[in-house]
Amino acid sequence: MEFVAILMGSKSDYPVMEECINVLKKFDVPYEIVISSAHRSPNRTKEYVKNAEEKGAKVFIAAAGMAAHLAGAVASMTAKPVIGVPLKGGVLDGLDSLLSTVQMPSGMPVATLALGKTGAVNSAYLAMQILALSNTELGEKLKEDRVMKAKNVELDSSEIEVIL
């Protein structure tokens, strides 16, 4: 079974990554979620990535704050797409995690998204877009979602707009 594998550096990351999970649930996309640290539990991370690939993980989402090496560590262990979600925290309030995630060396790509909840939500959407390359049903759901988002903008505008 194809699924999205989500890794978080610590339990404190869960409230943010719950946003990602909610989007995947909305679209009925299977996922796994684990806590595994690039620094505190590197062997666990390596074993999880290996096992997840064997079970059918097609995309990995890695969320971490501060040094934020989790996405890069995962990218070094798989040729599957890796999406990094930098999280706020520490002295630099997320700038450090953003820079750590976005500055991957050549040949080790990590799709780096926005900090925090926006990044968590977009990580689910990007993972689904990747899955939709070979899943037309999911692709159609994503197109319908875009149509609904556009309609919601028009609805919101109609409640307040003044046009001369």
Annotated binding site: 10, 13, 40
Cα 67 to Cα 86: distance, rounded to the nearest angstrom: 9
Mind giving me the DSSP string for 143-154? Answer: HHHHHHHHHHHH
Pick the closest to residue 8 from 52, 61, 58 (CA basis): 61
Three-state SS at 19: helix
Cα 47 to Cα 25: distance, rounded to the nearest angstrom: 25
Helix (H) / strand (E) element for 84: namely: strand 82-87
- Determine what percent of the chain falls in helix, strand and coil, rounding each to the nearest 5: 50, 15, 30
Tokens at 73, concatenated: 């560590």
Maximum CA extent, the chain: 64
Which residue's entry shows tokens 């890794």? 7
The annotation places the binding site for substrate at: 10, 13, 40
